[in-house]
Structure 1
């Protein structure tokens, strides 16, 4: 599930190692928008986009400090979901998601392609596949596929209807910061959450982000 960023350090003519140029959020957005403008297939989005995202999460300073912290109040004070960029024309959505200590998200789907890069700390991601015949609208049987501890600089891919159902857990004692990238604004997008114990399917709709 993880992909490491390339080493961007290089040497000058004298053989001395030079510090790599910092990659900014603006750089990432520009490259992603240019990529999507070329009308790429999903494979190209993932191949190129995951490389861009790995560079972005390799530079924590690219995201303002306030978007790298839990919201600190309300129903999900231990969590943070911050909008960084959305273009209704291309569909590109970029958010910063912060998982406080002990934070948990039950298995859910996405209904759009996605890429998730860890910027700081660790997060345990568990993937599931649906193994029932899809004949019921309110029930599903999930089978665990794999689980991994995702580290800073690593990128996970979400492939609609193929490999997109996951559970997220922060088992550490400090916040984990991620950058999420999707091909569609999650606000208003009809998705579902799965109950592993009962098999129940519940509708899930994101109505807003913590900064808008």
Structure 2
């Protein structure tokens, strides 16, 4: 299907079909990333509202909008990062595909090099830095390659579509302090469009 007409409903249907097949992680990423690329190359695939910073709360320059939450775990979110935004290293605990729709983003990946036996402690090693542009996709592999830091070094908001195997707002995840090696448990808050609808 042409990316001109490929929309959110098409993507949800295609991803649900993939998940029903019980594919390996590699096959899911291979096929799912093709669908995600079609979605992010269509500027009309999501509402303009979901491409704007929320403008309220502790992070007014950001936006986090739930686009789909399925009973099979599939979660699709529109993320907006304002100019200069920085997000410390954190994990996800589920598979993920992240596609840039507008502007650019710098993603720094890390791996743990400690023995993981001390609660609240971790030593991270930087593995790579990627500058992602519209149409590009990064993949999150649980446990082996899922810790990253996000920076918007541009002068305008960056819009991404995040696709996960579980709803992140229901997972107890971890933030990592590179200076102190302290690990902090956290859970994502409500999505901005859920707050708006209240």
Partner of 2:136: 154
- 8 Å contact 2:4–2:42 — kept in the other structure? no
- 8 Å contact 2:82–2:157 — kept in the other structure? yes
Partner of 1:106: 88
Per-residue CA deviation, residues 44-84 of structure 1 (Å, 9 max, x unaligned), is 11011011001100012101000001101111100000000
- 8 Å contact 2:97–2:162 — kept in the other structure? yes
Q: TM-score, normalised by structure 1?
A: 0.89
Per-residue CA deviation, residues 141-188 of structure 1 (Å, 9 max, x unaligned), is 001000011000000000000000000000111000000000001112
Question: SS at the partner of 1:61?
Answer: coil
Q: Distance in 2 between matches of 1:99 and 1:45?
A: 27
Q: Distance in 2 between matches of 1:157 and 1:172?
A: 22
Per-residue CA deviation, residues 97-127 of structure 1 (Å, 9 max, x unaligned), is 0000111110000000000000000000000
Find out whether 1:36 has 2:12 as its counterpart: no
Q: Distance in 1 between matches of 2:168 and 2:121?
A: 23
Partner of 2:49: 66
- Unpaired runs of at least 5, structure 1: 1-7, 10-19
Matched length: 194
Find out whether 1:85 has 2:68 as its counterpart: yes
Equivalent residue for 1:207, pick from 176, 186, 189: 189
Cα RMSD after superposing both structures = 1.1
Give the 5 Å matches for 1:181-196. 181-196=163-178
- 8 Å contact 1:116–1:178 — kept in the other structure? yes
Find out whether 1:122 has 2:104 as its counterpart: yes
- 8 Å contact 1:114–1:159 — kept in the other structure? yes
Q: CA deviation at 1:40?
A: 1.3
Q: Point out 4+ residue stretches in structure 1 off by more than 2 angstroms.
A: none
Q: Distance in 2 between matches of 1:178 and 1:159?
A: 18
Partner of 1:198: 180
Question: SS at the partner of 2:36?
Answer: helix
Q: TM-score, normalised by structure 2?
A: 0.95
Q: CA deviation at 1:21?
A: 4.0
Partner of 1:14: none
Structure with higher Rg: it is 1
